[in-house]
Copies of this chain bind each other. A is one copy, B any other.
Amino acid sequence: MRIEIICIGDELLIGQTINTNASWLGQTFSSIGAQVVKSSCIADDKNEIISALNHVSEGIHAVIITGGLGPTKDDITKHTLCEYFNTELEIHAPTLEKIQAFFAARNRPMLESNNLQAALPKDCTILTNNYGTAAGMWFEKNGLIYISLPGVPYEMKGIISEEVVPRFQERFQLNSIYHKTALTQGLGESFLAEKIKDWEEALKVQKLSLAYLPSPGIVKLRITSFKGQRDALLIDRYMSELNLLIPEYFYGFDDDTLPSVIGGILKEKRKTVGTVESCTSGLLASQLTSIPGSSAYFLGSILSYSNDLKMNLVGVKKDTLEKFGAVSEQTAIEMADAGRKILGVDFCISTTGIAGPDGGSVEKPVGLVWIGISSENGTFAKKYRFGDHRERNILMTILSAQNLLRLNL
């Protein structure tokens, strides 16, 4: 089953609203084995809507239209659809009752514009909206299904889940698509591709497709099967092989995050963690504590931005700072080591680096970072070289520190 999505709304085009509806619809339809082959955003404009309906891609079974249904006067979708499907509006009694009940339950007066929401096209199936006052509409023309829904995410999602998905599943033989995504940190897309090329070839032989999804510091590897759950065990086997190939980079699956993976290990081993940060400015701690229940293993953190605090609060030796500088292996080691004692934790991570844009030199350029790890097994620091961009350097440091901790737990 092939689906096209058309989102109506000026606020999407001028970027005032991020189009999360399209991604939710993509996820939802993929999960039932239907395929979104195109999605577009167009203006709240009659001609644009008609043009989009006239140019639906070939081989499409259903078009989902979102937006432009609401109580305010600038909504034109409903009128345009009447014209396009050659029908007219009439009051839909069950919808009017629902709207009246909706306002009564909330003790709010009804406006004339709310009554008008019950005026719906004659020749369509009305899709009940249990979350608001704008009903959905299901038209059919030349063997194609057109579904118009309100743009408010919460209402749109309700109608799709309760009214649309069951009808699609009844009407179409849906292929079940199965995805599993491996998460990797620390290796760029091209190096990763080089390292796993034989494994990737073997996947192809099994007709499993692989997609590389890179973002700064992280590359996700998504395996897709069009045979659905039947391939789940096979994919698990390939994932185990991948883990043997790149254990230092492969940290989890699907919705895992480095903080959630680290939290899981710490909880299981009943160990605690803390951070002493400089160039990551507290973000490493805040990510580790973003996991509900993290207070069981995360105790605290020191952000020692100035050299004075590195000495007076953390206890880095004056001598070390003078001889090697704040961004050095020795300082990173002393920060992690002292931090472990002061914070009373089993594992302490330290970060010190030159995030930029200023502060770089020939010897210590912007992007140079030292990450230290201290535990009962000892303390060490590892050197990293990132790029020129401050935010990205901070992000890369956080991800690298988390992955380094994971490998040393």
Residues of A near any B CB (own CB < 8 A): 10-20, 22-28, 30, 35-43, 48, 51, 55, 57, 70-74, 105-108, 111, 113-114, 131, 152, 154, 179, 181, 188-191, 193-194, 211-216, 220, 222, 277, 280-286, 289-290, 292-293, 295, 298-306, 308-309, 312-313, 342-344, 357-358, 367, 385-387, 389-392
Contacts and interface: CB of A to CB of B under 8 A. Distances in A.
Contacts of A114: 190
A284 B281 CA distance: 10
Contacts of A131: 389
Contacts of A55: 55
A299 B305 contact: yes
A189 B70 contact: yes
Given A111-B190, A212-B74, A216-B154, A385 B13 contact: no
Which residue of A13, A41, A179, A309 has the most chain B CB atoms within 10 A of its CB atom? Answer: A13
A298 B305 contact: yes
Given A283-B282, A292-B357, A38 B40 contact: yes
Contacts of A28: 15
A229 to B, nearest CB: 17
Which residue of A41, A188, A391 has the most chain B CB atoms within 10 A of its CB atom? Answer: A41
Given A193-B113, A214-B152, A26 B30 contact: no
Contacts of A113: 190, 193-194
Contact of A211 (B74, B191, B304): B74
A360 to B, nearest CB: 12
Contacts of A344: 308-309, 312
Given A23-B19, A30-B14, A282-B282, A342 B358 contact: no
A301 B280 CA distance: 12
Give the secondary structure class of A's interface. mixed
Contacts of A179: 14
Nearest to A210: B74
A282 B286 contact: yes
A300 B306 contact: yes
Contact of A152 (B211, B215, B308): B215
B289 A286 contact: no
Given A20-B18, A211-B10, A300-B304, A39 B41 contact: yes
The 8 closest A-B CB pairs, nearest first, are A15-B26, A282-B282, A15-B27, A40-B40, A301-B303, A15-B23, A71-B190, A281-B289
A27 B13 CA distance: 8
Contacts of A301: 282, 301-303, 305
Contacts of A343: 309, 313
Contact of A214 (B27, B70, B282): B70
A387 B106 contact: yes
Nearest to A289: B281
A326 B124 CA distance: 47
Nearest to A114: B190
Contacts of A285: 281-282, 303
A216 B153 CA distance: 10
A206 to B, nearest CB: 17
A399 to B, nearest CB: 14
Contacts of A300: 302-306, 309, 313
A307 B206 CA distance: 54
A286 B281 contact: yes
B303 A308 contact: no
18 contacts: A11-B213, A12-B22, A12-B39, A14-B27, A16-B27, A16-B181, A18-B19, A38-B42, A70-B212, A71-B193, A72-B189, A74-B212, A111-B194, A152-B214, A154-B216, A282-B283, A282-B285, A283-B286
